[in-house]
């Protein structure tokens, strides 16, 4: 009745730190095994024994060796309830938190890794009901975190930076150091053949086949269309099917609902996210709507010389006819951002000329052209208790670099707060849904000087126009997780207790139950569920106490809403 890691699956975390090769430089491979310690019960935990008791082996794979660095890692059981976890008839654990702490495992070898595998609160937050209703997010109008109070099994690794660097790299030079950039993606693979026997036995055999992958958040969910998902999930960043998938980034489907000449009116929530149709520059008006030319109108222009759009640099990749978002969304998802004009903050640029040099900002560029989450490890972490910390990640850093006097009065390199945020890596707090929707709306283009249509550089030097302000003020509706994050590894929070209704920790009156002499008395918590008979018009809730007690009864819907 409870989820767990799957057997006969290879869960792999892939790391690329050397752009000169087309293979993983480090791979962490997890394989899980399960044991039913007491097949005579239908309970998952009883009398100190677990069913679905799960352990794992972790292998570290490099181009020259495969090493087992954890042989029998322990996965904590699901947080079923107090009788199962702390009760005398269950595991008799001190607490569920103690089980989590005991599951943090130092790896053997010289890498210095720490590992945790187990159930946690789902750290992702998103209004699923709105997003999948043609993107109609419900900020301020009943947005619901579709993952609130749900648990998920997580694989977490804590790895010293020195163990992730490519061979021969020494002390970092500065926060733009390309040697400190890594790419990360994950996959799951299964054996090719699964045979079901008449006696219920299951046999798996054949080659390993990759069935899923993820690098950048939401690529699979909100960029790759249904008809291409299976093929995309079977691929890898080193051999992307560019002829098939690039157009999903260069003419993104979501942009159709941010364009009044297409289907903009169908999704009112996106009214602030309008694609630039006449972005004003000294080079002319530029249209970034789907199917338009975007910056391809500059192809062959001498003004491109020495910029990233120069054919001698990346111009043949970035400038594509009728694929306007090949200059922002495609490189963000598939290459990272290089510290080359025009990919510098508009601070310091010649007014109206996005191709001129600006303020150096970020470099998480790896010329491996494929979907990976990229991170420049030389960028310092922004303290969570800093007044500058923002879950808007790199976009907030760009706003500070454009508007804050601490950063917008110079074109010298500075460590701007939140440069360690998505899409330069992804902190658990980062609101990736809002960030990516703003990016589809063109906010990255604005940050590098391709301003929105209502900006006229000949009349004002303030680029934060009402249109840009609207984009920056847009919210996908759910901006934080349903609980806190831990300040120490594994950072994710304790899984929700299944004993409490719907996982919601409502007010439940504690009742002291006398010890029955057997040492297995019920824990001092009582809760009940009551569902109506569909042929009755009322529900009767009965409760019993074995001594005079104060009683409080809270009633919730099955969705956890307080009645």
Whether residue 390 is predicted with pLDDT greater than 70 in this model: the reply is yes
Task: Give yes or no for a contact between 420 and 457, defined as CB atoms under 8 angstroms apart.
Answer: no
Check residues 256 and 505 and name the one with the higher pLDDT. 256
**What's residue 526's pLDDT?**
39
For residue 546, pLDDT beyond 80: no
Strand partners, 46: 49
Q: Could you give the CA distance from residue 106 to residue 158 in angstroms, rounded to a whole number? A: 9
Residues 6+ apart with CB under 8 A from 35: 50, 53, 55
End-to-end CA distance of the chain: 28
Tell me the C-alpha distance between 265 and 51, whole Å: 53
CB 112 within 8 A of CB 163: yes
Q: Please state which of the ranges 206-215, 409-418, 427-436, 513-522 shows the lowest mean pLDDT.
A: 513-522
- pLDDT band at residue 424 under the 50/70/90 scheme: very high
- Mean pLDDT of the chain, nearest integer: 89
DSSP for 470-486 reads HHHT---S--S-SS---
User: What is the secondary structure of 332-348 as a DSSP string?
Assistant: HHHT---SSTTSSBSTT
**Would you place residue 498 in the very low, low, confident or very high pLDDT band (cuts 50, 70, 90)?**
confident
What does the alpha-carbon distance between residue 466 and residue 287 come to, in Å, rounded to a whole number?
A: 19
Average pLDDT over residues 136-154: 88
- Which residues does residue 11 pair with via DSSP β-bridges, in sequence order? 30, 188
Predicted confidence (pLDDT) per residue in 27-64, tens digit: 999 999 999 999 999 999 999 999 989 999 999 999 99
Q: Where are the beta strands (DSSP E) in 163-287?
A: 181-196, 202-214, 279-281, 284-286
- Between CA 357 and CA 347 the distance in angstroms is 9
Q: Can you state the percent helix, strand and coil of the chain, rounding each to 5?
A: 20, 20, 60
pTM (2 decimals)?
Answer: 0.88
Nearest CA among 360, 561, 396, 418 for reference residue 473: 396
Cβ contact 175:376 at 8 Å: yes
Give the pair of three-digit tokens for residue 480: 């934080």
Indicate the pLDDT class of residue 530, thresholds 50, 70 and 90. Answer: very low
- pLDDT of res. 499: 72
Give the list of residues 6+ apart from residue 436 with CB closer than 8 angstroms, or none.
Answer: 217, 218, 222
Give the pLDDT of residue 557: 66
**Nearest CA-CA partner of 237 in 256, 264, 260, 210:** 210
pLDDT score for 417: 97
- For the stretch 219-240, pLDDT in tens is 999 999 999 999 999 999 999 9
The answer to whether residue 410 scores a pLDDT higher than 90 is yes
Concatenated DSSP letters of 267-280: -GGGTT----SSEE
Span 348-358, mean pLDDT? Answer: 93
């Amino acid at each position: 009745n409870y989820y767990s890691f799957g057997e006969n699956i290879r869960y792999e975390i892939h790391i690329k730190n050397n752009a000169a090769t087309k293979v993983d430089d480090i791979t962490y491979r997890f394989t899980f095994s399960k044991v039913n310690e007491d097949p005579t019960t239908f309970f998952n935990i009883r009398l100190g024994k677990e069913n679905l008791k799960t352990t794992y082996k972790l292998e570290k794979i490099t181009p020259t060796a495969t090493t087992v660095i954890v042989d029998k890692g322990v996965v904590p059981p699901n947080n079923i309830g107090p009788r199962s976890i702390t009760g005398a008839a269950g595991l008799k654990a001190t607490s569920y938190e103690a089980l989590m702490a005991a599951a943090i495992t130092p790896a053997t070898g010289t890498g210095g890794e720490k590992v945790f595998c187990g159930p946690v609160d789902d750290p992702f937050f998103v209004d699923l009901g709105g997003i999948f209703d043609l993107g109609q997010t419900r900020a301020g109008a009943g947005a619901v975190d579709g993952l609130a109070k749900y648990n998920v099994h997580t694989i977490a690794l804590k790895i010293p930076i020195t163990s992730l660097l490519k061979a021969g790299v020494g002390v970092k030079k500065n926060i733009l150091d390309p040697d400190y950039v890594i790419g990360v993606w994950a996959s799951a693979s299964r054996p090719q053949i699964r045979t079901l026997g008449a006696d219920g036995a299951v046999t798996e055999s054949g080659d390993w086949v990759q069935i899923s992958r993820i690098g950048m958040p939401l690529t699979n969910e909100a960029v790759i269309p249904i008809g291409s998902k299976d093929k995309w999930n079977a691929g890898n960043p080193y051999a992307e099917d560019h002829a098939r998938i690039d157009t999903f980034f260069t003419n993104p489907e979501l942009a159709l609902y941010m364009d009044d000449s297409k289907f903009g009116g169908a999704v009112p929530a996106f009214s602030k996210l309008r694609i630039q149709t006449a972005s004003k520059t000294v080079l002319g008006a530029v249209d970034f709507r789907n199917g338009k030319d975007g910056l391809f109108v500059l192809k062959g222009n001498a003004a491109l010389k020495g910029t990233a759009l120069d054919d001698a640099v990346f111009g043949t990749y970035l400038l594509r006819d009728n694929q306007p978002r090949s200059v922002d969304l495609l490189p963000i998802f598939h290459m990272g951002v290089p510290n080359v004009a025009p990919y510098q903050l508009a601070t310091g640029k010649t007014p109206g000329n996005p191709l001129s040099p600006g303020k150096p900002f970020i470099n998480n560029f790896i010329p491996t052209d494929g979907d990976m989450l990229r991170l420049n490890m030389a960028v310092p972490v922004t303290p969570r208790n800093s007044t500058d910390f923002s879950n808007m990640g790199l976009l907030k850093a760009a706003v500070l670099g454009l508007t804050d006097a601490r950063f917008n009065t110079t074109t010298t390199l500075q460590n701007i707060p939140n440069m360690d945020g998505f899409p330069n890596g992804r902190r658990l707090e980062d609101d990736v849904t809002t960030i990516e929707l703003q990016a589809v709306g063109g906010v990255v283009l604005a940050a590098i000087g391709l301003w929105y249509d209502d900006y006229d550089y000949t009349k004002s030097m303030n680029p934060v126009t009402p249109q840009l302000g609207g984009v920056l003020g847009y919210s996908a509706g759910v901006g934080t997780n349903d609980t806190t994050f831990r300040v120490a590894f594994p950072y994710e929070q304790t899984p929700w207790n299944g004993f409490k209704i719907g996982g919601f920790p409502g007010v439940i009156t504690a009742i002291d139950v006398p010890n029955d002499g057997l040492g297995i008395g019920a824990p001092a918590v009582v809760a009940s569920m009551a569902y109506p008979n569909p042929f009755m018009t009322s529900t009767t809730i009965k409760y019993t106490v074995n001594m005079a007690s104060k009683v409080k009864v809270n009633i919730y819907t099955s969705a956890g809403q307080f009645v």
